[in-house]
Structures are given as C-alpha cells and as structure tokens.
Amino acid sequence: MACVYCRSPGQESFAPRAGRLTQAEWAKLLEALRELGVVRVRLTGGEPLLSPEVTAVVRCAADLGFEDIALTTNASRLSPMAGALKTAGLMRVNVSLDSLSSARFRELTRGGQLSAVLAGISAARSQGLELRTNTVVLRGQNDGELEQLASFAWEHSATPRFLEVMAVGQGGCDVQGALVSVAEMRTRLNALLSDGLAQPEIDRGPARYVTSRCGTYRAGFISGMTQSFCEGCDRLRVTSTGEVRACLSMPVGLQLADLVRSGAPRTVLVAKFLEAWGGKPAGDWVGCGSPSARAVTMRAVGG
Ligand code: SF4
C-alpha cells in the first residue's frame, strides 16, 4: 500500500532489498536488547508481513523471553499467516483500517483491498490475538465513519484507535489541511463514548483511552499534533537495514548493521543501543510537528 498520509504521489515503489537484516542478524540485536532489560518489541514496517523472515523473527523474540510481542500491519497478507505467527509467539496485532468503504479504502491506501484486510482481522481474531484497529482520520475522507469504525472494531473483539494525521514524512505534511483533532473526534463519537478524561495505559505508548457509554468497550486516541506525547517516550526504532533511531521524527540514527555482520560481541551492541538511547530528545520536544520530521521516510521506519 502507499497510503496518502505516508507517501506523496510518485513514491509508490518499494524500498531497496539490499542491506536488509537477516533473521540471524535480527536475533543478535534482539539478544542485546534483552540484555538491556527491554521486554516489549513491536514489528512494524513499511509492512512487516512482506518480510519472508517475519515469523522466524517473532519466534526468536519469544525464545528470548520478550514479554510483549506485537505487530503493526496493513493486514492484507495476515489471513494466511495469522496461525503461524500466533504459534511463533505473537501476542498482539494493530491493523491499519482507515475506512469500511472498499472504494474509499482503495483511494486512501492507493490500491489496497479492503476484503483482504477484513479477512486478516477475522483470522487474527480466530487465533485469539489481541486486536486493535488504527484509523488515521482525514477531514472530508473518513471523518464521517468514526462511529461505524468503532462499532466494527467492538463487534470483532478489537479496540478501535483514532489518530491525528502527523506531519511526519512528506506525505503527512501534504495532508495537514485534513487534520482532525482528537477533541473533534471525541465530539463525533459522543453518542458512543463516555465523557471522562481519556486515560493512558501505563508504559504502553501514546494512546489515551475512553470507555464506551455502556461500559463494555474502549476506544483510543493518539494526538500527535494537538497534544504532544513526547515527554516520557520510551521507544527506540530499528530500521530494516539496522539503523537505530531514538525518535520517529528524526531521519538519522546509529548504523549497527556492519557491527552485527562483522561479529561484534554483544557488549558492543549493548553499548551502541545505550548510545542511541542517549540521543533521545529533551522533554519539551514536539517530534511530530518538528521540521526534522518532514525528512523521515515512513516506509523505512514504520509508525
Ligand atoms: S515524536 Fe519521537 S519523542 Fe515524540 S513520541 Fe514520537 S518517537 Fe517519541
């Protein structure tokens, strides 16, 4: 897929295959992260299910004792893979779902097939994977579908989440005119959700959750633009070519691939991760709106 808020027109090609880490190389990085005490890992993309080694990487993370192993995917290839991923140790899946209209979905994703994504959601549910849907809300596109998307998620045992479109990458900057604030999303979902303050999950990322009026369900909101959540951010990202980045909104990082390939001992990799961690921006950083965010290539670093 080549979603409109991720890529500008004309950027629909795939990232080059050269230089991507192998499963054995991912294993070395995961071992170093475990040694540092990291307990949660999420496989993102681009699209992680395009990697032929994704199941092996999940298995490796499970064998190393990661307590939380999650995947963010467009789910178009999830249906035939969900069983193997679950067996390998996958626990949670976040699925991008921007519309329940096939035509709008195809338009927003530049060619995505909604039916394949819905099959992927069903397969993940059948496997007992914990499910969340992620909807980037765009004015004039899918902002009239929020109630429908929330109800769909709840009917499929998933937690819906609604995201402000972030000015990350050229695509995200191009569509800032379509930004819908979390406050407006809450208003649009007023009939379904309680009025209380949205609450974060401790140590579980930037989303804030509200319970449904019936008290049974939840919906999450991610306010990258109108309310920064950088303070307290505890994420490190590793690109498919082995670059560690301290922040989604910074287009540069520390390259570890050569070290891994030359057989550097784990202590060296651990030290490099600590060095990368030291590059975390200060607490007043507003990453998603920073000028550096425009230069990030989302297909290389994931969401
Ligand atoms: S923009 Fe950077 S610092 Fe802010 S939440 Fe995202 S990754 Fe963390």
Least confident of 93-102, 188-197, 275-284: 275-284
- The per-residue DSSP string of 268-285 comes to HHHHHHHHHHTTPPPTT-
Nearest ligand 1 atom, CA 248: 7
Task: Say what the pLDDT of residue 294 is.
Answer: 86
Please check whether residue 212 is in contact with residue 219, taking contact to mean a CB–CB distance below 8 angstroms.
yes
Counting from 1 in the atom list of ligand 1, the atom nearest the Cα of 168 is: 1
Q: In a 10 Å sphere around its CB, with 0-12 CB exposed, 13-18 middle and 19+ buried, how is residue 291 labelled?
A: exposed
Query: What is the pLDDT at residue 11?
Result: 66
- pLDDT tens, position by position, 147-163: 999 999 999 999 999 99
| Bridge partners (DSSP) listed for residue 125 | none
Could you give the CA distance from residue 242 to residue 247 in angstroms, rounded to a whole number?
15
User: What pLDDT digit, counting tens, does each position of 260-284 carry?
Assistant: 999 999 999 999 999 999 988 877 7
Higher-confidence residue: 252 or 145?
A: 145
What atom in ligand 1 is closest to the CA of residue 237?
A: 7
d(CA 134, CA 162) in angstroms, rounded, equals 6
Pairing of strands 158-164, 130-137: parallel
Q: Ligand 1 within 6 A of 253 CB?
A: no
Give the residue among 56, 53, 43, 45 at the shortest CA–CA distance from 14. Answer: 45
Atom in ligand 1 nearest the alpha carbon of residue 293: 1
> 12-21, 167-176, 193-202: lowest mean pLDDT where?
12-21
> What are the structure tokens assigned to 262, written together?
């030359």
DSSP string, 41-87: EEE-SS-GGGSTTHHHHHHHHHHTT-SEEEEEE--TTTTTTHHHHHH
Q: Is the CB of 152 under 6 A from ligand 1?
A: no
pLDDT number for residue 12: 59
Cα-based angle 167, 91, 63 (whole degrees, multiple of 5): 110
59-75 CB burial, b ≥16 within 10 A, e <16: bbbbebebeebbbbbbb
| Band (170; pLDDT cuts 50, 70, 90) | confident
Q: Name the token pair of 179.
A: 């930004």
pLDDT band at 303, cuts 50/70/90? low
Ligand 1 contacts CB of residue 234 (under 6 A): no
Q: Which of 25-39, 198-212, 263-277 has the lowest mean pLDDT?
A: 198-212
Interval 47-94: pLDDT, tens: 999 999 999 999 999 999 999 999 999 999 999 999 999 999 999 999
Q: Give which of 137, 116, 13, 23 is closest to 74, Cα–Cα.
A: 116
CB atoms within 10 A of CB 91: 18
Which of 233, 277, 284, 285 maximizes ligand 1 atoms within 8 Å of its Cβ, making it the mutation to test the pocket? 233
What local confidence, expressed as pLDDT, does residue 281 receive?
A: 84
* Residue 20 Cα to ligand 1 middle (Å): 24
**Ligand 1 centre from 247 Cα, in Å?**
5
pLDDT at position 272: 97
Residue 134 pLDDT greater than 80, yes or no: yes
165 CA distance to ligand 1 middle (Å) = 14
Pocket test for ligand 1, best of 42, 247, 280 (most atoms within 8 A of CB): 247
CA of 233 to the centre of ligand 1 (A): 6
CA of residue 243 to ligand 1 center, whole Å: 16
Between the alpha carbon of residue 79 and those of residues 105, 205, 297, the distances in Å are 18, 26, 27
pLDDT score, position 175:
92
Kindly tell me the sign of the dihedral angle through the C-alpha atoms of 244, 247, 248, 252: negative
Q: Is 95 in the pocket of ligand 1 (CB under 6 A)?
A: no
* pLDDT number for residue 41: 97
